[in-house]
Amino acid sequence: MLLLHRAVVSALRQACRFRPPPSRLCIQACSTNESFQPQRPSLNFSGDNSSTRGWRIMGALLGFGTALAYHDHRCRASQESPPLYTKEEVYSHRSPETGIWVTLGSEVFDVTEFVELHPGGPSKLMLAAGGPLEPFWALYAIHNQPHVYELLAQYKIGELKPEDSAPPTLETSDPYAHDPMRHPALKVNSQRPFNAEPPPELLTENYITPNPIFFTRNHLPVPNLDPDTYRLHIVGPPGGQSLSLSLCDLYMFPKHEVTVTLQCAGNRRSEMTQVKEVRGLEWRTGAISTARWAGARLCDVLAQAGHQLSEKEAHVCFEGLDSDPTGTAYGASIPLARAMDPEAEVLLAYEMNGQPLPRDHGFPVRVVVPGVVGARHVKWLGRVSVEPEESYSHWQRRDYKGFSPSVDWDTVDFDSAPSIQELPIQSAITEPRDGETIESGEVIVKGYAWSGGGRAVIRVDVSLDGGLTWHAADLDAEKQPPRKAWAWRLWQLQASVPAGQKELNIVCKAVDDSYNVQPDTVAPIWNLRGVLSNAWHRVHVHVTS
């Protein structure tokens, strides 16, 4: 509030001595940077109501005086040569100790004093620390208002050097050179191939995960495919007819839509690493996301090619168009019985949240297998066939399998374990963060819960004392049909902090409609690949008096 008072007083003082310009040409002449004009992002995801009210209150406080001060600020800025900074210099200012800088277009701002006043909370603004604001403002359209730009103008300290304002060039010899741009909020686990997850405070902001922050799991470079020449090859049965389908051909099949949560088998692997070293990416709680998918049902396409259910065991094998330097493509498979079941709702998806699939998520076509581990949702789909055995792909036969804690890399026999298909019950806490300091009084705990195979989450239990006592969390109102609960449940608990308590050991566990419940500790389910990590999730926070 002191900062707001300072801004309002300063604005009003400048307004009192302001003299009207002779014409609107003054405003245009003073605008030295077109990038500062309000932008209209193509991806609009509104924030919560509290953030909206916060911005409206702030805009009302700043009022006309701030608008005039902003004009005066820009006019004076145009008459001076602003300091120039490199992107590296901006990136080095991303903590309270160094100062918190951000950029918008080619302009640089020091928002250190504003972080604590940010209506969406300090943690949201800190996600952009040391980098551009645009990707985050694209997620929250509430920022696209004049008073927000006016407020930001007070914190301008300079501009980016011209060479840093231009997009970087890429080395064409690099197999990853043409990978798509990614949202800076994503927490990167590996760059090549690219694997990243959204931060927990953004993960459960929306029931449907915005495309830019949907977790990304790539095994190989992202192919750059031409939708006009793309063809999906469906191998027909003996005596049947193989199909070569263009995107337009796929559009001719009945369009089916379904909301599905995808989860990587390695979600929460980092907790297994704390017990004993494992091999794999250090996923935290964010290797899971939810989208509304649309496309042709796999069963309809297979039937068109002449396939039908068989009494003998059979598998539908998928092959992607991503490949390594040897030409080996990513592949996986699911049982034919699931693929041919209309109630299983397996899709050849070409839309994600009402838009064409982003490149990182399989453009132009991917498989979506509701209730099944993400490894079977093959992206950039190029070939589908029905075989008597499951896919011979490395990722089907030599990965994504669970083993006893006693098995190590000297004794493991991958042929002895089945490939992961349906995943077990899962839940995690997204707010507050581990190590965070909260105020006494009440605490709000948020998170997600999901179970594989279409099993519905019926309850989430939350403890503030490490599991000694429990509270039932409130589940979101999204309805889930029996045996087709393909998407997660977001949950929340508002509870009183016991008087005098200096710390909380918050725990959550979920229960599905088969009464499967998460195990209490990690050690008994530890395995050498760090998959299927679904023990009680624990967060330790400090309490201020």
Q: Would you call 537 a catalytic residue per the annotation?
A: no
**Collapsing DSSP states into helix, strand and coil, what is residue 328?**
coil
Q: Would you call 317 a catalytic residue per the annotation?
A: no
For 471-495, give the DSSP string. EEPEEPS----TT---S-EEEEEEE
Q: Which residue among the candidates 56, 94, 118, 383 is catalytic per the annotation?
A: 118
Q: Which residue among the candidates 400, 448, 455, 538 is catalytic per the annotation?
A: 400
Q: Which residue among the candidates 74, 217, 256, 455 is catalytic per the annotation?
A: 217
Q: Which residue among the candidates 73, 93, 143, 489 is catalytic per the annotation?
A: 143
Q: Among candidates 505, 529, 250, which has minimal Cα distance to 408?
A: 529
Q: Are the CB atoms for 338 and 381 separated by under 8 Å?
A: no
Partners of residue 540 on adjacent β-strands: 505
Q: Would you call 143 a catalytic residue per the annotation?
A: yes
Q: Among candidates 402, 427, 424, 422, which has minimal Cα distance to 413?
A: 402
Q: Among candidates 61, 160, 45, 40, which has minimal Cα distance to 101?
A: 160
477 to 80, 196, 220, 359, 515: CA distances (angstroms): 55, 29, 38, 32, 20
Q: Would you call 366 a catalytic residue per the annotation?
A: no
Q: Are the CB atoms for 139 and 210 separated by under 8 Å?
A: yes
- Rounded Cα distance between 37 and 408, Å, is 58
Q: Would you call 217 a catalytic residue per the annotation?
A: yes
- Rounded Cα distance between 256 and 294, Å, is 6
Stated as kind and residue range, the H or E segment containing 110 is strand 107-110
In the chain the first and final C-alpha atoms are separated, in Å, by 22
Burial of 364 (0-12, 13-18, 19+ CB in 10 A): buried
Phi, psi of 538 (to 5 degrees): -125, 135
* b/e map 291-300, b = 16+ CB within 10 Å: bbbbbbbbbe
- Rounded Cα distance between 215 and 213, Å, is 6
Question: What tokens does 329 get?
Answer: 């493509």
Q: Which residue among the candidates 70, 73, 140, 264 is catalytic per the annotation?
A: 264
Q: Which residues carry out catalysis?
A: 118, 143, 217, 264, 400
